[in-house]
Structure formats: structure tokens, C-alpha cells
Structure 1
Amino acid sequence: MASLRVVTRMFCAASETAAAAAPPVPASRWERLKNSKAGVWFRSMASDYKDACREIFVSARKRPLKASVYAALVGGAWASFQTKPDRSSFETALLECSGHLGLLSPWIRSPTSDGHVLSLVKLRNEGRLRHVSLGLFTLVFRYDYDPDVALYEARCSNLSVPWRELPERMLDVGFAGRWWILDSKMRDFDVNDDEFRRLPVHMQATSPPGVGEVERSERLHRESWLAVKMEEEGEADAAVGTVQQDKAGA
């Protein structure tokens, strides 16, 4: 037994000596990349983001109302950014409004709608409409010159339009997929208020019809589509004779 133990110890010592003398196994490419400076920086950044996300979920569970408000604000901002109208949409809306007004007689068009659309079309034809995107909404404002004009006043940076004059030059605001000023100007574009100025005061303003008037109008409209019933010749003669007798007796 003693000799067996000695032999076993000799083999173990020899294996340990061979393992120590063997050259080290080269690390893989992934391990070298992971242990490099860039790998350590990315791992630390991922750990920080992981901790931040964990804190967000923990705080949202503790304060659900506050988390809901923040989520609604972020979602609203994202929706506004995605539905923000651009330059092509404004020109499309302007041409559509111009087409709607062109189908009406000049005596029927609203002066407010007609004047606003005509001024925008004139600025567009002159190349003086400018568009600027501010992230969540888009502004349309007028400029003094076309960008292709080679005049000194148009090219000199010292004579450019200052930002403080932007509110005076602003023509429309695009937000949530709509152009708000253009839509407000086109409200009741087929009603000319100048036609009713010479009417009496009590006729200039009309009140909405009641339920009875609406039902009567609908009933008359349905009856107008019915076929006309022709009376028989005998019944018509009898009706005429009866009318004549009534007149004679009177």
C-alpha cells in the first residue's frame, strides 16, 4: 500500500509539473474584446441602463399616477412628431382650398376665406413662403424674397429677417396633422356675410329649426318622391258636379 501511495504521488507531481510547464492557452477573440477598454465601457454602460430601467419600473409601481402622466406626455410628443405636417401637405391643402373657392360664385364666397387663400397663393407663386420645422409642429411664414433671387438684399446675411419678426410674419401653424389657421379661415367659406348686411336686423340672424319643423320638412321631402295619383274620370265629374251644386245653392 505504501508503495502504491508513493507511485500515485509521483504521478500527481509529474502531471502538475507538466501542466505548469505547458504554454498558456491563448484567449479567444470574444474574450479579448470583452476584456478590452471598449468592452469594459460598454458593459458598464449596459449595467447603468439596466439599473435605470429597474428604477423606472420600481418608481412607476410606487407612483402610478405620476408615471401615467409622464407616459401620456411622452406618447403625445411622439404622436405630434409623427403627425407633424410638412411643406407638401401645406401646398396640397392650399390648392384644395383654392379649388373649393374656385367652384363658387364670387357673390357667394366668404371674403375672409377668399382673401386669405389668394394672399397665400400669391406668396407661393412668388416663392416667398418659407417653412420651418420645430420638432413637434411646423411654422409657415412669409419672406421678402425668393431664395433663387440674386439681389444683394436677398443674399446679404446682415439684411435677413430677424427672429423677433417671426410672429408678425407667421401665416400658419401645422400641428397634429392639421393647418390650424387655414382651417379656421376656411370655415363657412361658402357664406358671404355681405349679402345679409342690408337685411333687417331680425332677418340677419337665424335660429336653428325645432324638432317639429325638422320632422315636417322630412315628411314633405318623403311625400315629394311619391307618385302622383290620378283620379278616375267618373269620380272627377262627380266631384265637379258636387262643387257646382254647392255654388248654386250658395
Structure 2
Amino acid sequence: MFSRLGKKVTEFINLCYNQYKTSLIEIKDGLIGSPVKSGFQLSTLTGFIYLINNNPSEQSYLDQLVTARNDLLIVGDNIRNPSSAQFVSFLNQCQGERTLRRLDLGVISLLLRMDLNPDCAVYINQCDFLKPTYVEQLTERLVDIGIAGRWRILDRKMIDYDVNPDEWS
């Protein structure tokens, strides 16, 4: 009985080995046959894998927001950029109201501002007909875009957080 089982296991392992060997030979032939196309496909696949693995989370947004808040607190009021301060203040308000929602799209994340806290059980929150459409969410309620481990709009707003343009006018 055990010899018959051992034979079947051996046959299965040989079958798997031959299939993997055949597929690797076909991949090698494809790489040699059209190297430009294969290089482009491999680069694209590698890029997507990188984006998927480094898709930022809501916790990374909160960490980046705390860092931006601390950076603004270090700078005095008269030299603080009002645009950066206003954006971070808006995000703090939304975070306190719990109206920020993260939409994960695999390679990128979108941070959207909703009208109400999802725990609030009022009619507007429950009725599907009163909820915003996807176009409205993307055009009017989009707060930030996360890609490759960073939140882009917050990064852009914090570039010159310590330069007040009104001071130079």
C-alpha cells in the first residue's frame, strides 16, 4: 500500500517538475525572442507590484498629518504659510468629526470627505438616494490622493509651509 502511494507521489512530483520546466523554457524563449516587449511587460509588472505593496493606509495619512501639524506648530504665526495652515486645520477638523474616508483602489488610495460621521444614524446617512454620486465624490469631496507610500496633496501643500507670501508683498 505504501509503495503504491510512494509511486503516486513520485509521479505527481515529476509531473509538476516537468510542467514548471516547460513553462520556464517558454518564458526564456519569449524573453529572447522579443526583449523590448518583454522588458516593457516586466517593468510594468514590477511597477504595479511596487504600487500595490506601497499603497498608503489611513494610518499613514494620520501619521503624515501629525507630522505636518508639528511642522506648522514649530513655525511662528507671522512666517507660517496661510495656505498650509488652512489645509491642515481643515484636515484636523474633518478628522475630529470623523468624516474622512479612505477608498482603496489597489494601486492608489483616495481620501474623501463625507458629510456625516458613519456612526450617525440620521436619515441622510441611511438613504441611498441622498448619498453623493461617484462623480461628485471625485470632484467635490476628494481631499487627498495616496500613491507610492505618500499622500500627494498634503505633501504639495507642505512644500513651503514656513514661507508666508504675504510677508514678501
Name 2:85's counterpart in structure 1: 114
Q: Give the alignment partner of residue 117 of structure 2, picking from 136, 146, 162.
A: 146
Q: 2:4 aligns with which of 17, 28, 50?
A: 28
1:81-96 to structure 2, matched below 5 A, reads 81-96=52-67
User: Residue 171 of structure 1: SS of its match in structure 2?
Assistant: strand
Change (3 A) 1:34 1:116: same
Residue 56 of structure 1 and its aligned partner are, at CA, apart by 2.0
Q: Give the alignment's Cα RMSD to 1 decimal.
A: 2.4
Q: Distance in 1 between matches of 2:111 and 2:27?
A: 39
Aligned to 2:152: 180
3-state secondary structure, aligned to 2:144: strand
Aligned length: 166
> 1 CA distance for matches of 2:17 and 2:126?
49
Letter in 2 for 1:83: N
Is the counterpart of residue 76 in structure 1 residue 47 in structure 2? yes
Alignment deviations for residues 44-91 of structure 1 (CA, whole Å, 9 cap, x no partner): x98766544432220111111211111111111111111111000000
Look up the match of 1:58: 29
State the one-letter code of the partner of 1:86: S
Cα separation, 2, equivalents of 1:46 and 1:134: 37
Aligned to 2:162: 190
Residues of 1 paired with 2:100 and 2:85: CA distance? 18
What secondary structure is seen at the aligned counterpart in 1 of 2:111?
A: strand
State the SS of the aligned residue for 1:28.
Answer: helix
Amino acid at match of 2:162: D
Compared CA separation, residues 29 and 144, structure 1 to 2 (3 A): same
Structure 1: tracts of 5 or more residues without a match: 1-24, 198-250
State percent identity of aligned pairs.
30
Q: 1:105 to 1:69 in 2, by over 3 A?
A: same
Shift of 1:33: 8.1
Map of 2:100 onto structure 1: 129
Q: 1:158 to 1:51 in 2, by over 3 A?
A: farther
Q: For residues 157 and 105 of structure 1, do their structure 2 counterparts lie closer, same or farther at Cα, with a shift above 3 Å needed?
A: same
For 1:60, what is the secondary structure of its paired residue? helix
Q: What secondary structure is seen at the aligned counterpart in 1 of 2:85? A: helix
Could you tell me which amino acid in structure 1 is paired with residue 60 of structure 2? S
* Higher Rg: 1
SS in 2 for 1:74: helix
Q: Distance in 1 between matches of 2:55 and 2:24?
A: 29
> What's the TM-score, normalizing by structure 1?
0.60
Deviations along 1:20-65, one digit per CA (max 9) or x if unpaired, are xxxxx99824557899xxx8xxx6x987665444322201111112
Q: Distance in 2 between matches of 1:26 and 1:195?
A: 86
Write 1 or 2 for the structure with the bigger share of strand.
Answer: 2
